[in-house]
């Protein structure tokens, strides 16, 4: 009798397990079917509800630029699956083993403000709204999360509209916003003052390098390459002439590799300034030969600036630096007169 009871219990458990597996497979198929819908994002902060009714329970707040998939539509409502909005800031910090994907949230939201990959002129709409958010981020009175919203909207444009004429600019702007946010954060750390750039945590380069890879010889690539120099310059020179010397080489190399870039004039000016500082630093050490070499090189770089970028502020600023050198007016350090 006892053995029969045990067998029956095992059969019941087996049947329950099979039923659970079938239910799980059915849910998985439904999820896969829903996730096959058009990708989309939202332009404004929008509430996600359990049901297509504002009186129903709230699931979460959807921020502008959040990645999602539209599963179905019912009148003015859409059911969506949205990612968790948790971004891996540094790919090298992600563990190789043991990583589990967080399931997306789902629910109903109002359809207005939702831009899908099938929306006519959707790329233009996203570009415009992202630019609006970026402008708000530069406004001291703008919302605190405007920069992140702009960045996510630019990212969604790149992903939803891969053939858009705005793609290169959106990819660059998304990468640039992230770079500026990380740079501002890094500047608050004590390591920001380290002379050796290898002694501080470098800013994440992957997104800027993708701009260089996919859009070489473009304005966006010129901008990305210039920004990447931030990881190579000294935090503070601390009176070490090797810092401006190395940085001058970096900026001169950039100017040579991007002769007509939008940042070339600035790079040349940066090199002139560092040569001017090196002149004063060498002079303070009593090394007149190296001081004169730096003085002459500053003149040469300023002449290149005037020849090719005469109409820019960087040209006249470089001219002012050379004038100070010629007049014996210090540019760096204590007054040597």
Q: Secondary structure of 221-242 in the HEC alphabet?
A: HHHHHHHHHHHHCCCCCCCCCH
Q: Does residue 47 sit within a domain? A: yes
Residue 49 counted as domain residue: yes
Structure confidence at residue 239 (pLDDT): 92
Joined tokens for residue 257: 């590799």
pLDDT band for position 84 (cuts 50, 70, 90):
low
pTM reported for the whole predicted model: 0.82
pLDDT for 161-174, tens place per residue? 999 999 999 999 99
* Mean pLDDT of the chain, nearest integer: 88
Strand partners, 109: 78
The whole-number pLDDT of residue 100 equals 41
- 42 occurs within a structural domain: yes
CA angle 259, 182, 250 (to 5 degrees): 30
- At residue 59, the 3 state secondary structure works out as strand
pLDDT range class, residue 192, cuts 50, 70, 90: confident
Q: Give the separation between CA 103 and CA 82, rounded to whole angstroms.
A: 9
Inside any domain, residue 54 = yes
Question: Would you state the pLDDT for residue 254?
Answer: 98
Digit-coded pLDDT (tens) for 281-325: 999 999 999 999 999 999 999 999 999 999 999 999 999 999 999
Report the b/e string of 142-180 with b at 16+ CB within 10 A.
eeeebbbbbbbbbbbbbebbeebebbbbbbbbbbbbbbe
CATH number for 64: 2.30.30.40
> Within a domain: residue 110?
yes
Does residue 30 surpass a pLDDT of 90? Answer: no
Distance CA 167, CA 159 (A): 9
Task: Look up residue 249 and give its two tokens.
Answer: 């080489």
How many folded domains does the chain comprise? 1
Question: Which burial class, exposed, middle or buried, applies to 128 when counting CB atoms under 10 A from its CB (0-12, 13-18, 19+)?
Answer: middle
* Sign (positive or negative) of CA dihedral 293, 294, 295, 299: positive
| Full residue range of the structural domain in which residue 44 is found | 34-86+104-162
pLDDT above 70 (res 197)? yes
Q: Is 322 within a domain?
A: no
On whether the CB atoms of residues 220 and 211 are closer than 8 A, the answer is yes
Q: Is 53 among the domain residues?
A: yes
Question: Is 301 a domain residue?
Answer: no
Average pLDDT over residues 23-45: 68
């Amino acid at each position: 009798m006892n053995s029969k009871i045990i067998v029956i219990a095992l059969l019941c458990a087996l049947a329950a397990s099979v039923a659970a597996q079938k239910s799980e497979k059915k849910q998985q198929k439904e999820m896969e079917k829903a996730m096959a819908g058009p990708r989309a994002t939202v332009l404004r902060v929008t509430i996600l509800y359990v049901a297509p009714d504002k009186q129903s329970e709230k699931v979460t707040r959807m921020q502008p630029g959040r990645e999602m998939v539209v599963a179905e539509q019912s009148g003015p409502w859409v059911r969506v699956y949205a990612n968790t909005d948790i971004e891996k800031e540094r790919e090298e910090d992600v563990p190789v083993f043991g990583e589990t994907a967080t399931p997306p949230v789902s629910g109903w939201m109002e359809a207005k403000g939702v831009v899908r990959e099938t929306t006519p002129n959707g790329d233009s709409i996203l570009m415009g709204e992202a630019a609006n958010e970026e402008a708000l981020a530069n406004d001291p009175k703008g919302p605190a999360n405007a920069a992140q919203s702009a960045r996510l909207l630019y990212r969604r444009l790149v992903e939803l509209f891969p053939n858009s004429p705005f793609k290169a600019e959106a990819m660059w702007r998304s990468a640039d916003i992230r770079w500026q946010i990380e740079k501002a954060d890094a500047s608050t750390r004590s390591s920001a003052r380290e002379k050796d750039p290898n002694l501080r945590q470098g800013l994440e380069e992957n997104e800027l390098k993708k701009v260089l890879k996919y859009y070489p010889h473009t304005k966006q690539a010129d901008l990305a390459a210039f920004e990447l120099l931030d990881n190579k310059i000294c935090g503070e020179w601390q009176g070490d002439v090797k810092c401006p010397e190395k940085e001058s080489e970096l900026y001169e190399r950039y100017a040579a590799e991007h002769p007509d870039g939008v940042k070339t004039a600035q790079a040349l000016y940066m090199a002139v300034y560092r040569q001017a500082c090196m002149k004063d630093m060498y002079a303070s050490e009593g090394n007149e030969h190296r001081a004169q070499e730096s003085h002459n090189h500053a003149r040469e770089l300023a002449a290149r600036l005037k020849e090719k970028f005469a109409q820019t502020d960087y040209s006249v600023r470089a001219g002012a630096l050379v004038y100070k050198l010629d007049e014996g007016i210090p540019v760096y350090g204590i007054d040597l007169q």
